[in-house]
Amino acid sequence: LHPEEALRWKQRDPHWAPPGGESPTAVHQRISATLHAIAAQHPGEHIALVSHGGVLDMLYRLATGQALNAPRTWELGNCAINRLLYTPQSLTLVGWADAQHLENQDTAPLDEGSA
């Protein structure tokens, strides 16, 4: 990003999109529509989704009503389990950033350089 684009990104303008990219508003709408579509295909079932932080950030915002321009104050942990309850009327946060399954592992932690 150019400096002026980086500044716009840091300001969290929900309607600004980087060149060739999506605005937070567009991402939010896409994630919401995808969530509704997946849930409609699996009524009453438990669904496991694997995703990256951008999608998880949007799911958290959908579940908690956080504004798109609000600074992130919640954790987006690697390999964490996030639990949400979906109904056609709402998305409810049940549990977030649960990493207990990673505790007390006998292996050395991995990072991008050693993975």
Residues 106, 88: Cα–Cα separation, whole Å: 42
Q: How far is CA 46 from the centre of its chain?
A: 18
The pLDDT tens digits of the residues spanning 3-31 come to: 988 888 888 899 999 999 999 999 999 99
List, for residues 36-71, the tens digit of each pLDDT value.
999 999 999 999 999 999 999 999 999 999 999 999
- Domains, the chain, with CATH or none: 3-102 (3.40.50.1240)
Give the separation between CA 1 and CA 56, rounded to whole angstroms: 23
